[in-house]
Amino acid sequence: MTAVHNSTAADEVRHIEFEAAPARFARGWHCIGLEKDFRDGKPHSIQAFGTKLVVWADSQGEIKVLDAYCRHMGGDLSQGSIKGDEVACPFHDWRWGGDGRCKQIPYSRRVPLRARTRTWHAMAQDGLVFVWHDHEGSAPIPEQAIPLIDGGPSDPTWTDWAWATTVVNTNCREIIDNVVDMAHFFYVHHAFPTYFKNTFEGHTATQLQKGVNRDDMRPAEVAIGAPKRLGNTSVATYHGPSFMIDDLIYHYEHGDTRTVLINCHYPIDENSFMLLYGISMQRPEVEDDDPAAADALAAKMVATVRLGFEQDVEIWKNKTRIDNPLLCEEDGPVYQLRRWYEQFYVDADQVTPEMTDRFEFELDTTKPVEAWQREVQENVARRAEAAAAEAAAAAVPQTQDA
């Protein structure tokens, strides 16, 4: 006799589904680094979009980007040199102009008719260099222009970029998911969000977040010598698929500090990306303030941002890609965010309204805040107990062993 088992939805095992990461890369502007680093009269190598690019500044100061692999015999132009306005290949000295045409072959009478390589649209603003990628090869879309930063190094009352980069060995969708993931800020970053709202519209995706600092996490702060923070207010927006501007205000005991945090990336290939981030800080309006002090503080802030990304990286290193995340009520709109993100991967004429229509979602933080307050209090109490026990042990005179 066989027992008839009435399986219900609650009995069924949930299976993780995922497809391989897309072979194409997102359409949009991608920041590749600080402008000043490309203005040294040398060609630079950028491993991006599954290939290699060469980047340099011409005599007019314009940033030029070409495929790095020379169309003659495949030499790497980024290992060559700048001669006049052209990049000269280290292999046989063919000279390539920023317009993608070979201008001269010193040892030849004529340049072949088809001596033309791929050019990439590039631009510089706010001290940053951007490259446009489009799998269909189209010119930059005006609506996707990167806005000028309000504050930041273009404003003399703000510090220069304190900047850092790191290679992350996973597909870049993982970092995009962060936009809607409130709970991980508590568990991974030891932050304490109290307000969380997302808005997606057109090519932008915004995360509005307010948070308080955690009393059980002070030691970490103290260890790196950062001042005591009370909380923060952050408005972070992706402008296109990879460039986030975060207007981030830190609330300290002595007042507020306005900062701009850039969080951006470009894909190296489908399974790795370069993460670039930087902070600029409004200098405090104190008379006879030492300007170097603000720069030093900005450098410390970047160190905390680095810690934050390292925490994400540790998760990404060990997790799996998942196309069907199983969500609870207090999770953010992961599926809607991924639909928004999809607009940068489909052909331009395949973008649908559900990818770009305005979508707003404010998380009800009542339950998480309650749970997290309790957890913080427990941690603080446990720590106080441990400290008291340690003090008591130290007070007992040591008995001497015979």
CA distances 62 to 56, 276, 287, 350, Å, are 8, 22, 38, 34
Q: In the stretch 176-195, what mask flags binding to Fe ion with x, by CB under 5 A? A: --x-----------------
The answer to whether residue 66 forms part of the interface with ligand FES (CB under 6 A) is no
Q: In the stretch 82-121, what mask flags binding to ligand FES with x, by CB under 6 A? A: -------x-xx-x---------------------------
Task: From the list ligand FES, Fe ion, none, pick the one residue 178 interacts with, judged by a Cβ distance below 5 to 8 Å according to partner type.
Answer: Fe ion
For 271-289, b where at least 16 C-beta lie within 10 A, e where not — what string?
Answer: eebbbbbbbbbbbeeeeee
Q: Which is nearer to ligand FES, 110 or 358 (CB)?
A: 110
Report the half-sphere exposure of 296 (CA within 13 A, side-chain side): 9
Cα 373 to Cα 384: distance, rounded to the nearest angstrom: 17
Q: Which is nearer to Fe ion, 178 or 259 (CB)?
A: 178
The answer to whether residue 75 forms part of the interface with ligand FES (CB under 6 A) is yes
Element containing residue 88 per DSSP (H, E): strand 86-88
The answer to whether residue 72 forms part of the interface with ligand FES (CB under 6 A) is yes
Instruction: Tell me the closest approach of the beta carbon of residue 102 to ligand FES, in angstroms.
Output: 9
Q: Which is nearer to ligand FES, 72 or 300 (CB)?
A: 72
Q: Which is nearer to Fe ion, 165 or 356 (CB)?
A: 165
CB–CB of 25/272 below 8 Å?
Answer: no
Cα 161 to Cα 152: distance, rounded to the nearest angstrom: 8
Instruction: Please give the distance of CA 67 from its chain centroid, rounded to a whole number.
Output: 24
Residue among 16, 73, 307, 381 that touches ligand FES (CB under 6 A): 73
The answer to whether residue 70 forms part of the interface with ligand FES (CB under 6 A) is yes
Q: Which is nearer to ligand FES, 70 or 236 (CB)?
A: 70
Q: What is the largest CA-CA distance in the chain?
A: 97
Residues in the site for Fe ion, rule: CB under 5 A?
178, 312
